[in-house]
Amino acid sequence: MKLITTPRPTNDQVAGREAIHSGLPWIVPESLVELEALMKPDMRIFEWGAGGSTMYWLKHNACVTTLERKCRWYFWTRERAKELPGKLDIVFIPMGGKADEDYANAIKGFDDATFDLVYVDGEAPQRGTSLKAAVSKIKPGGILLLDNSNWYKTDWLQNEWNETRWQTIEYEWLGKPMVWATSIFWRK
């Protein structure tokens, strides 16, 4: 695994809102350079959590399936997507109860090796389950983008993302009160 670490600006909350409204994923900015190099027209993408990332994928003419749990972001994304070249299938899944499980496992309804890129973001409590569900759905040579990857330093993650199956670059912003990491995994 390659690790790239940079200091985090003190105003990252403002930068994050600007990124979302500018149609960019709210991830460690240095990881966007790598992501830009990986983007190809007509990619098939699945993501948990709609917003700036969805706009970014659509600007790259991707076919995007996104799940959203907040009405505001669902409608914001659906309206803005109409102006962009890609194709969007956005699904609203409310919060609470069985809906939490449905949200985390929604990708299981797709065939294995369906997606060129899977972005695990969205609701934090379900990310671990979503991450596990996503693994088989990524095509060989495909990409898994994991935001806040520093939250998932588990035995399962270390075993699954070993260098025989995946190539990895982790980008970190160091700052107070926490570290923010975004990891890009390529399936071999």
Secondary structure of residue 124 in the 3-state scheme: helix
Q: Is the pTM of this model over 0.85?
A: yes
Other CB atoms closer than 10 Å to residue 43's CB: what's the count?
Answer: 20
Domains and CATH numbers, the chain: 2-187 (3.40.50.150)
Rounded Cα distance between 144 and 27, Å, is 13
Q: CA-CA distance, 86 to 62, in Å (whole number)?
A: 5
How does pLDDT run along the chain (188 residues), one tens digit per residue? 677 676 655 444 445 556 677 888 888 888 888 899 999 989 999 999 998 999 999 999 999 999 999 998 899 999 999 999 999 999 999 888 788 889 899 999 999 999 999 999 877 777 888 988 999 999 999 999 998 887 776 566 666 666 667 888 888 887 666 778 888 988 88
Whether the CB-CB separation of 115 and 109 falls below 8 Å is answered with no
In angstroms, the CA 12 to CA 15 distance is 5
H or E element: which one contains 179?
strand 179-187
- Cβ atoms of 56 and 82 closer than 8 Å: no
